[in-house]
Amino acid sequence: MDFGDSPEERAFRLHLREWLGHNNPGLPTSSTSDEYWAGQAAWHQTLFGAGFFGLSWPKAVGGHDLPSVYEAILDEEIIAAGAPPRPSVGYLVQGLLRHGNEDVQRRFLPGLVSGRDRWCQGFSEPDAGSDLASLRTRAVTDGSEYVITGHKVWTSYSDAADWCLVLARTDPDVPKHRGISAFIVPMGQHAIEQRPIRMINGITREFGEVIFDEARVDAANMVGEPGEGWRLAMTVVSHEREPGELGYVARYGKLVNELVHAVEEQPDKYGPEQRRDLAWALVEADMLRCHVSRRLSDRLDGLSHGPEGSVDKLLMTGVEQAVGHAALSIGGAASTEGDDTWLKVYLYSRAQSVMGGTSQIQRNLIASRILELPTS
């Protein structure tokens, strides 16, 4: 494993660094404010337009076919510039690349990759989260269309989405994992209602419930074959659990750097306990950076993606919550009256052990699929 840049990587890094120097939109760190969400689409399109998005994805869908180490360079330079992280769509891209037919990939991937179209993921339901396969949303054929009826919840970005990747039951008569299909559903129709959920950190957009009341979708928008939805879901969530796909490393780096800066500016204000919290967050964030580099290096060596995403997710959760704790400890003392930025960072960190599959579920997966322990 060699973390040094090759001459080509170095040239790319310098070009990117120069570009970031002039194009940092100065948004707040991801997921802490409505202002970030409002500016995220434009940031996505700016990165894409400059050739800095989808670096390791195929050229045919708007990517650059570069080795994934370039994604790591992108994240490192984003951290160094204090720029906002790159938007998280990698897990959807990977799902469509693996399971979508040529027509689906041609019609949907360019808009997703370029940031022209906004997407959300309609998997979870009020009674189907960890036990996702028990989902009850159903899709029934009607000519060349399917009619979808059901209730999704915790759907991130559903307020602004053009498309929703929906899991729905198409065959109630087979074992539950095998009766699910996946559809790319257009959100702009009267039969779909989005109800925003206000988050504890104050975010009023981003999150919602989505009600499908006989919504319609073209059968050609099915991803994979009928009954293949579970396989697609497993591809999507396993990539969702990888910090390297999502730019999380950049987000934690940006937050820790801001906290370090706060301490350097007013060193007398902070006691040993606060410094210890910050030091721990710094170590954790750097551990994740090294871990992601190792994962990327594995990929360069041809090791394929597998259940290890659960290990990544648990590590990432530890980092997010260490950074959140430091944000409360340092930032709480630093903030002037009425500024609750750091409190919001802490509050959002609590969600990491739930979103994308809870920590308990990750431990179950590690036990059964990596350690191959008996399942009682």
Ligand X SMILES: Cc1cc2nc3c(=O)[nH]c(=O)nc-3n(C[C@H](O)[C@H](O)[C@H](O)COP(=O)(O)OP(=O)(O)OC[C@H]3O[C@@H](n4cnc5c(N)ncnc54)[C@H](O)[C@@H]3O)c2cc1C
Question: Which of 76, 209, 240, 245 is flagged as catalytic?
Answer: 240
Nearer to ligand X, 55 or 356 (CB): 356
Q: CA 128 to CA 137: how far, in whole Å?
A: 10
Contact 97, 109 (CB under 8 A): yes
Q: Which range touches ligand X (CB under 6 A), out of 14-22, 40-48, 218-226, 358-366?
A: 358-366
Nearer to ligand X, 150 or 179 (CB): 150
Nearer to ligand X, 28 or 58 (CB): 28
Contact residue for ligand X among 124, 274, 310, 317 (CB under 6 A): 124
Our finding on whether 156 is near ligand X (CB under 6 A) is: yes
Our finding on whether 154 is near ligand X (CB under 6 A) is: yes
Distances (CA, A) of 138 to 253, 263, 363: 42, 53, 30
Q: CA 298 to CA 184: how far, in whole Å?
A: 32
Our finding on whether 358 is near ligand X (CB under 6 A) is: yes
Nearer to ligand X, 80 or 367 (CB): 367
Our finding on whether 123 is near ligand X (CB under 6 A) is: yes
Min CB(223)–ligand X separation in Å: 15
Q: Which residues contact 253 (CB under 8 A, 6 or more apart)?
A: 75, 76, 79, 285, 289
125 is catalytic: no
Our finding on whether 130 is near ligand X (CB under 6 A) is: yes
Q: Which range touches ligand X (CB under 6 A), out of 2-10, 92-100, 149-157, 311-319?
A: 149-157
Positions annotated as catalytic residues are 240
Q: Which residues bind ligand X (CB under 6 A)?
A: 120-124, 129-130, 154-156, 351, 354-358, 360-361, 364
